Amino acid sequence: MINRFISHDQMKTFQVPRDLRYEQKFETKYFHFRELELAVQIHPSLFLKHFPDRIVNNIYFDDSTYSSFNENLEGINYRTKLRMRWYGNTQQVKIYPKIEFKRKFGHVGDKVKLSMPAWNNKKGINMSDIYELIKSSSQGNELYHILYNKEPKILNSYLRKYYITADKKIRLTIDRKLSYVPFKNGHAILDKQVNPDEVIVEVKYSKLDQDIANKAFEGLGIRKTKYSKYCAGITALANNLLITNNFIK
């Protein structure tokens, strides 16, 4: 059942999956993108291009008290983040999204993906169309039940570059040209956005490959950090007075 992926209390009651991965993030405000790209390309772990560069878009959902935001800040071990993801320009007419549940079990996690029907984006990105799209999916009733007390909070977009080591054990992505867009009255306000000057590196690997990953971290010359694009976006929009900040506990 899908709904077991959502509740913090429910997550503590079922067996943790075996096929989990680490996802380490590096916030690199003080590194130039080209320098970072070169460090990856000459790295002894032999990082190779994995996919073509592409724009990644995420709509993050949360409840009225921003439970997901606050659980992340508090470091709750068992938690789930809910988002809708698609690739390409945010204003393209036809979108092929997926609903994703990012589940966290302490330091490791996994991701559950559910494909949605194609979405005609002529009227812009708005909550009513998103919910209609979800209801029309093959698991629409269950998803709609999960989302009944949640709403889209921000739209996050960035340009992603993909790498993988020659042995295919370590995947690395570099995200730049980040933007965060608020929702107001159910609509994404595309002309009100924050564009932080950040480059985010993510390194993903199986929990069986921790030693290999540690060597990769050393060669990059950057430090691991606790980072969430959703939390960073909410904070940046609040700091720029584009949303209220009375949700932080």
pLDDT tens per residue, range 70-81: 999 998 888 989
pLDDT band, very low/low/confident/very high, at 237 (cuts 50, 70, 90):
very high
Show Cβ contacts of residue 126 under 8 Å, excluding neighbours closer than 6 positions: 186, 187, 188
pLDDT (tens digit per residue) in 83-138 = 999 999 877 778 899 999 999 888 889 888 988 999 887 778 888 888 888 888 88
Q: Which residues contact 59 (CB under 8 A, 6 or more apart)?
A: 83, 84, 85, 125, 130, 152, 154, 155, 156, 188
Q: Cα separation of 29 and 236, whole Å?
A: 14
- Radius of gyration for the chain, computed over Cα atoms and rounded to the nearest angstrom: 18
- What is the SS3 assignment for 49? strand
Note the pLDDT of residue 7: 47
Residue 184's DSSP bridge partners are 187
Which residue shows structure tokens 């924050």? 194
Summarize the confidence of residues 146-161 as an average pLDDT: 92
**22-239: CATH homologous superfamily?**
VTC, catalytic tunnel domain (3.20.100.30)
pTM, two decimals, is: 0.88
Which amino acid is residue 78, in one-letter code?
A: Y
| pLDDT interval class at 216 (50, 70, 90) | confident
Q: How far apart are the first and last CA of the chain?
A: 31
Task: Kindly give the interhelix angle for 210-220 and 33-41, rounded to the nearest 10 degrees.
Answer: 130
Half-sphere exposure of 150 toward its Cβ, with a 13 Å CA cutoff? 24
* Number of Cβ within a 10 Å radius of residue 242: 17
Residues whose CB is less than 8 angstroms from the CB of residue 238 and which lie 6 or more positions away in sequence, other chains included: 244, 245, 248
Q: Which residue has the tokens 């949360």?
A: 62
Burial of 140 (0-12, 13-18, 19+ CB in 10 A): middle
Average pLDDT, the chain: 85
- Residue 150, classified by CB atoms within 10 Å of its CB into exposed (0-12), middle (13-18) or buried (19+), is middle
Mean pLDDT on 142-168: 91
188-215: pLDDT as tens digits? 998 888 988 888 999 999 988 988 888 7
Distance CA 246, CA 70 (A): 12
